C-alpha cells in the first residue's frame, strides 16, 4: 500500500467516524442519561443510579400513556394491514380505468391528511363526528393517513403473485375468501409484516394527531405525555424524560428485531420460493 | 367421467378480440382429445371456457349431459393443469396435492393420506415434504398432475403441460401422460401447439386457427388427409409441399413442366388446383421423366437418419426427405417422383379445402 493510499484511507475513516459520532451521540445520551443522578443535555459519564427508573415507575401517567400508545398503534396497525391488503389485492386484480392515477393522487393527498396543513379541518371533522377525545377518532385519522402508502407498497406484492394460482384454486372450488386466506395472505406475508411494523412505528412516534384530538390525559399516548414532564420550577425534567425515552423506544426496537428475523423486510413484491 | 359438447361457442374479449367464433366440438367420454393450433388461435380460451374461468359470449358448454355454461368454475367438476403448473410456492408437495380435498373439507389426516397415495402413484414419494421451488420441471409437472387427479374430476384440462420441459424430459413425460390417461380413462382435453405431441398423444385432434376448427379427426386421418391447406402445412414434422398446378386432360396435374399423377376424380381438365405431397412421399429417381419433379438442390439439412433437401425448379420450391446415405450436395440437379396414392388436391382459393375423396387408381405408377 502506497503512502498515498494509506493517507486516503485514514482520511476516509476519520470522516466516517465523525459522521457516525454525530448520529451516535444522541443515542449515547439515551443510554447514559437515564442512569445519571444529575442528567443534563449532554452525554457524560453517569453517576450511576436507578432512582430515575423508580421515579418513572411511580409516575402513573407515564405507564398509562405507554398502554395508550399500544392501543393506538395496535388498532391502527390492524386496520391499516387489513384494509390495505384487501384494497391492494382488489386494485391489482380488477381493471379500473385510471387505477394508477387514483393511487398516485391518494398517495399525494395522504401526506396532507395527517400533515400540519389539515389540522383545522381535521379538528372540525372530528368535532362534527363527535370523535374528539376518543381513541377511535385518533385511530381512524391515522389509518386514513397511512393507508395510501400501505396500499401502494402492498400492491407491488399482490401484482407479483401470478393470477394462475388463484385461478387454479377457483377451479378446485375455492371461494374468494378462501383464496385470500390460503394463497394471497401467505404469499404477501413479508409485505404485510413490513406494513405492520411501519404503521406501528408511525403511530408510536406521532405527536400531532393525538395532541390535537385527545383531551383527557388518561387517554394520551406516550409521545404526548412526554411533553408534560416538567419540574415544579418549569424546567424540563431531564431525569424523567430521558428514562421515559428509553422505555418508550424499546418496544419499537424489539418489535422491529422480531419481525425482521421472522419475516424479513422487503418493500417490493416477488415470490421467494 | 363425461363427454364434453361445445355448441356455437363464441368468446369476445373486452377490447373487441374475437378469440372463438361459433365453435362446435364434441369430445367423447374417456377420450384423449388434443386442441392443436398455432399460438394465439384460441386454444387456451377454449380450455378456460370449459373450466369456467372465462364466460362464453354465446353458445353452450355441456359436460356429461349437464349444461354448465353459467356455472362457476368450482362447480363444474373439472381439474385444470396450467401452463406454469400454478403450484402454490408456500405449500409442500403433500399440501399442494391435498389442496382440492382441503376445499372439500376432507379431514386433515385423511387428505394427507390420499395426497401421499396419489403422489406416490406418480413417483413423488421422496418429494412429499419439499416445496415446488425445490423440484425439477418434470417433478413439478407431476405434482400438478397429482393435484388434478386428487379430486377425481370428470374432466382433465391440460394447457401445454409439456412446454416447460426440456426436449428429453418432454418425451418421457409424453409417454407417462399417455399411459396415465389410459389407466384413469378420464376425459382429457389437451392443448398444444406442437403437432408431434398431438399426433403422439391424442385419440382425436382438433386443428384450430383463428378461433375456428379447421379439422377434427384421428391422428392418422389428420396426417393422411388434411382437410385443407392450413392443416396440411401445420401437421407433419416437415410441412407438406403445396404446389400450384392445373388438371390436364389425361387425369394428371401439370405442376411446372411435370404431369404428376393425382386423384383427379371428377375435376374438369383446366381447373387450377394445389397439388399437395409430403416430403416423405417423394422418391429419388436417376432419370427425368414426364412425371418427375426436377430441380436444383439449394439446401441440405441433416435430420439424423434422413436428410431434408430443398429443390428449386420449374415446379417451385419443393422439399424432399431422402435416406441418410443419399449423396446430395447443393447445386446438384435432382429428379423426384411422387407417390401417387399420397398426393392430395386442394382448392387454390377460399379456405383451400381438399378437393377430392377418391383414391388414386393404382395404374398411375411413377417412373413410367
Ligand atoms: N384476457 C384477454 N384479453 C384480451 N384478449 C385476449 C385475452 N386472452 C387472450 N386474448 C386473445 O385471444 C386470442 C386467443 O388467445 P389464446 O386462447 O390465449 O390463444 P392460444 O392459447 O391458442 O395461444 C389471442 O388473439 C389473444 O391475444
Ligand atoms: Mg395458450
In a structure prediction context, what are the per-residue pLDDT tens digits for chain A, which is 273 residues long? 788 899 999 999 999 999 998 888 888 888 888 888 877 777 777 777 788 888 888 888 888 999 999 999 999 999 999 999 999 998 888 877 888 888 888 888 877 766 777 888 889 999 999 999 999 999 999 999 899 899 989 998 999 889 999 999 999 999 988 999 999 999 998 899 989 999 999 999 999 899 989 988 888 998 888 888 877 777 788 888 888 888 888 888 898 888 888 876 666 665 544
Q: Which of A117-121, B34-38, B68-72, B130-134 has the lowest mean pLDDT?
A: A117-121
pLDDT of residue B364: 37
Q: What is the CATH number of the domain that holds B117?
A: 3.40.50.300
State what percent of residues in chain B have pLDDT above 70.
Answer: 96
Give a yes or no: residue A76 inside a domain.
yes
Give a yes or no: residue B206 inside a domain.
yes
Evaluate if residue B49 carries a pLDDT over 90. Answer: yes
Does residue B193 share a domain with residue B90? Answer: yes
pLDDT of residue B357: 55
Chain A positions in Cβ-Cβ contact with residue B82 (cut-off 8 Å): 164, 167-168
Is any Cβ of chain A less than 8 angstroms from the Cβ of B53?
A: yes
Number of domain units in chain B: 2
Give a yes or no: residue A237 inside a domain.
yes
Does residue B331 share a domain with residue B233? Answer: yes
Does residue A168 share a domain with residue A151? Answer: yes
Does residue A105 share a domain with residue A142? Answer: yes
| Burial class of residue A12 (count of CB atoms within 10 Å of its CB; 0-12, 13-18, 19+) | exposed
Does residue A73 share a domain with residue A18? Answer: no
Is any Cβ of chain A less than 8 angstroms from the Cβ of B120?
A: no
Identify which of B14, B100, B132 has the shortest CB distance to residue A172: B100
Give a yes or no: residue B359 inside a domain.
no
Alpha carbons B360 and B344: distance in angstroms, whole number: 9
Q: Which ligand is nearest to the CA of B45?
A: 1
Evaluate if residue B361 carries a pLDDT over 90. Answer: no
- Grid cell for residue A114: 395527517
Ligand 1 atom showing the smallest separation from residue B208 Cα:
22
| Listed residues B224, B257, B286: the one ending a domain | B224
Does residue B107 share a domain with residue B11? Answer: yes
Q: Which of A44-48, A234-238, B290-294, B325-329 has the lowest mean pLDDT?
A: A44-48
User: From atom 18 of ligand 1, which residue's Cα is the shortest distance away?
Assistant: B44
Is any Cβ of chain B less than 8 angstroms from the Cβ of A164?
A: yes
Number of domain units in chain A: 2
Evaluate if residue B88 carries a pLDDT over 50. Answer: yes
Look up the domain containing A119 and give its range: 52-262
> What is the average pLDDT across B316-334?
88
Does residue A254 share a domain with residue A151? Answer: yes
> What is the average pLDDT across B80-99?
94
Look up the domain containing B36 and give its range: 4-224
Give a yes or no: residue B254 inside a domain.
yes
CA nearest to B225, candidates B269, B263, B268:
B263
Chain B positions in Cβ-Cβ contact with residue A174 (cut-off 8 Å): 74, 103
Alpha carbons A230 and B276: distance in angstroms, whole number: 100
Q: Which ranges of A174-269 does DSSP label H, i.e. alpha helix?
A: 176-179, 185-187, 189-204, 208-213, 222-225, 238-262
Give a yes or no: residue B98 inside a domain.
yes
Cβ contact (<8 Å) for B53 and A170? yes
Which of B10, B36, B40, B57 has most ligand 1 atoms within 8 Å of its beta carbon, as the pocket-test mutant? B40
Whole-number Å distance, alpha carbon B46 to ligand 1 midpoint, is 10
pLDDT of residue A269: 61
> What is the average pLDDT across B207-232?
94
pLDDT of residue A168: 94
Does residue A245 share a domain with residue A190? Answer: yes
Give a yes or no: residue A267 inside a domain.
no
Does residue A138 share a domain with residue A99? Answer: yes
Does residue B219 share a domain with residue B234? Answer: no
Does residue B233 share a domain with residue B220? Answer: no
Evaluate if residue B358 carries a pLDDT over 60. Answer: no
Evaluate if residue B146 carries a pLDDT over 60. Answer: yes
Better-scored residue on pLDDT, B353 or A111: B353
Give a yes or no: residue A223 inside a domain.
yes
Cβ contact (<8 Å) for A171 and B88? no
Does residue B156 share a domain with residue B24? Answer: yes
Alpha carbons B238 and B4: distance in angstroms, whole number: 32
> What is the average pLDDT across B35-56?
94
Does residue B314 share a domain with residue B216? Answer: no
> What is the average pLDDT across B219-228?
94
Output the ligand 1 site: residues, CB below 6 A.
B 13, 15, 17, 19, 37, 39-45
Does residue A81 share a domain with residue A45? Answer: no
Does residue A36 share a domain with residue A122? Answer: no
Taken in order A212, A215, A217, A219, is the CA torsion positive or negative? negative
Does residue A65 share a domain with residue A191? Answer: yes
Give a yes or no: residue A269 inside a domain.
no
Does residue B178 share a domain with residue B49? Answer: yes
| Burial class of residue B151 (count of CB atoms within 10 Å of its CB; 0-12, 13-18, 19+) | buried
Alpha carbons A167 and A180: distance in angstroms, whole number: 12
| Listed residues B192, B224, B256: the one ending a domain | B224
Chain A positions in Cβ-Cβ contact with residue B15 (cut-off 8 Å): none
pLDDT of residue A245: 87
Does residue B256 share a domain with residue B167? Answer: no
Does residue A121 share a domain with residue A78? Answer: yes
Give a yes or no: residue B368 inside a domain.
no
Alpha carbons B150 and B148: distance in angstroms, whole number: 6
Give pTM, 2 decimals: 0.81
Does residue A35 share a domain with residue A85? Answer: no
Beta carbons of B151 and B104 less than 8 angstroms apart:
yes
Chain A positions in Cβ-Cβ contact with residue B52 (cut-off 8 Å): 171
Complex ipTM above 0.90? Answer: no
Straight-line distance from the first to the last Cα atom of chain A, in angstroms, rounded to the nearest whole number: 45
Does residue B245 share a domain with residue B211? Answer: no
> What is the average pLDDT across B335-352?
90
- Grid cell for residue B202: 391424442
User: From atom 3 of ligand 1, which residue's Cα is the shortest distance away?
Assistant: B13
Does residue B161 share a domain with residue B56? Answer: yes
pLDDT of residue A114: 67
Does residue A143 share a domain with residue A200? Answer: yes
Amino acid at each position: 500500500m502506497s503512502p498515498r493510499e494509506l493517507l486516503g484511507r485514514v482520511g476516509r475513516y476519520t470522516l466516517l467516524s465523525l459522521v457516525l459520532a454525530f448520529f451516535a451521540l444522541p443515542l449515547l445520551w439515551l443510554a447514559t442519561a437515564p442512569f445519571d443522578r444529575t442528567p443534563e443535555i449532554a452525554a457524560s459519564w453517569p453517576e450511576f443510579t436507578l432512582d430515575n427508573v423508580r421515579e418513572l415507575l411511580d409516575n402513573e401517567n407515564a405507564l398509562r400513556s405507554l398502554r395508550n400508545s399500544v392501543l393506538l398503534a395496535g388498532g391502527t396497525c390492524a386496520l391499516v394491514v387489513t384494509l390495505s391488503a384487501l384494497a391492494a389485492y382488489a386494485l391489482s386484480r380488477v381493471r379500473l380505468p385510471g387505477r394508477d392515477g387514483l393511487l398516485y393522487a391518494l398517495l399525494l393527498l395522504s401526506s396532507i391528511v395527517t400533515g400540519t396543513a389539515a389540522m383545522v379541518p381535521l379538528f372540525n371533522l372530528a368535532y362534527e363526528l363527535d370523535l374528539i377525545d376518543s381513541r377511535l377518532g385518533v385511530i381512524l385519522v391515522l389509518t386514513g393517513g397511512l393507508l395510501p402508502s400501505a396500499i401502494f407498497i402492498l400492491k407491488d406484492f399482490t401484482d407479483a403473485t401470478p393470477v394462475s394460482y388463484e385461478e387454479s384454486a377457483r377451479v378446485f372450488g375455492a371461494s374468494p375468501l378462501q383464496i385470500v386466506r390460503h394463497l394471497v395472505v401467505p404469499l404477501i406475508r413479508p409485505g404485510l409484516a413490513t406494513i405492520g411494523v411501519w404503521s406501528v412505528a408511525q403511530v408510536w412516534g406521532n405527536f400531532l394527531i393525538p395532541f390535537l384530538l385527545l383531551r383527557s390525559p388518561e387517554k394520551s399516548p406516550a409521545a404526548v405525555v412526554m411533553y408534560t414532564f416538567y419540574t415544579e420550577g418549569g424546567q424540563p425534567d431531564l431525569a424523567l424524560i430521558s428514562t421515559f425515552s428509553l422505555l418508550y423506544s424499546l418496544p419499537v426496537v424489539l418489535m422491529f428485531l422480531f419481525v425482521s428475523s421472522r419475516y424479513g423486510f422487503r418493500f417490493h413484491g416477488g415470490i421467494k420460493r | 367421467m363425461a363427454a364434453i359438447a361445445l355448441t356455437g361457442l363464441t368468446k369476445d374479449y373486452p377490447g373487441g378480440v374475437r378469440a372463438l367464433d361459433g365453435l362446435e366440438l364434441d369430445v367423447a367420454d374417456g377420450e384423449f382429445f388434443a386442441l392443436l393450433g398455432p399460438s394465439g388461435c384460441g386454444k387456451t380460451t377454449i380450455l378456460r371456457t370449459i373450466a369456467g374461468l372465462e364466460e362464453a359470449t354465446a353458445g353452450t358448454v355441456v359436460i356429461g349431459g349437464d349444461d354448465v355454461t353459467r356455472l362457476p368454475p368450482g362447480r363444474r367438476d373439472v381439474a385444470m393443469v396450467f401452463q406454469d403448473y400454478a403450484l402454490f410456492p408456500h405449500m409442500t408437495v403433500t399440501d399442494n396435492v391435498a389442496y382440492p380435498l382441503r376445499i372439500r373439507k376432507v379431514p386433515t389426516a385423511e387428505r394427507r393420506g390420499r395426497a401421499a397415495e396419489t403422489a406416490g402413484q406418480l413417483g413423488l414419494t421422496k418429494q412429499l415434504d419439499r416445496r415446488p421451488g425445490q423440484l425439477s420441471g418434470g417433478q413439478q409437472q407431476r405434482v400438478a398432475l397429482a393435484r388434478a387427479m386428487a379430486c377425481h374430476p370428470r374432466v382433465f384440462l391440460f394447457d401445454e403441460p409439456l412446454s416447460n420441459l426440456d426436449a428429453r424430459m418432454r418425451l418421457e413425460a409424453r409417454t407417462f401422460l399417455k399411459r396415465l390417461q389410459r389407466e384413469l380413462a378420464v376425459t382429457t382435453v389437451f392443448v398444444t401447439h406442437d403437432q408431434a405431441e398431438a399426433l403422439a398423444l391424442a385419440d382425436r385432434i382438433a386443428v384450430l386457427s383463428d378461433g375456428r376448427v379447421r379439422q377434427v379427426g384421428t391422428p392418422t386421418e389428420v396426417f393422411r388427409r388434411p382437410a385443407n391447406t392450413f392443416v396440411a402445412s401445420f401437421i407433419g414434422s416437415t410441412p407438406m409441399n403445396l404446389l400450384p398446378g392445373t388438371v390436364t386432360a389425361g387425369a394428371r396435374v401439370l405442376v411446372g413442366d411435370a404431369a404428376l399423377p393425382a386423384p383427379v376424380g371428377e375435376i374438369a381438365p383446366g381447373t387450377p388446383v394445389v397439388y399437395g405431397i409430403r416430403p416423405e412421399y417423394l422418391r429419388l429417381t436417376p432419370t427425368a421423366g414426364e412425371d418427375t419433379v426436377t430441380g436444383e438442390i439449394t439446401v441440405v439439412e441433416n435430420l439424423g437418419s434422413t436428410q431434408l433437401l430443398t429443390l428449386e425448379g420449374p415446379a417451385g420450391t419443393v422439399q424432399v426427405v431422402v435416406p441418410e446415405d443419399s449423396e446430395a450436395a447443393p447445386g446438384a440437379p435432382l429428379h423426384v417422383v411422387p407417390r401417387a396414392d399420397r398426393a392430395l388436391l386442394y382448392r387454390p382459393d377460399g379456405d383451400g379445402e381438399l378437393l377430392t375423396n377418391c383414391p388414386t387408381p393404382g395404374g398411375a405408377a411413377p417412373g413410367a
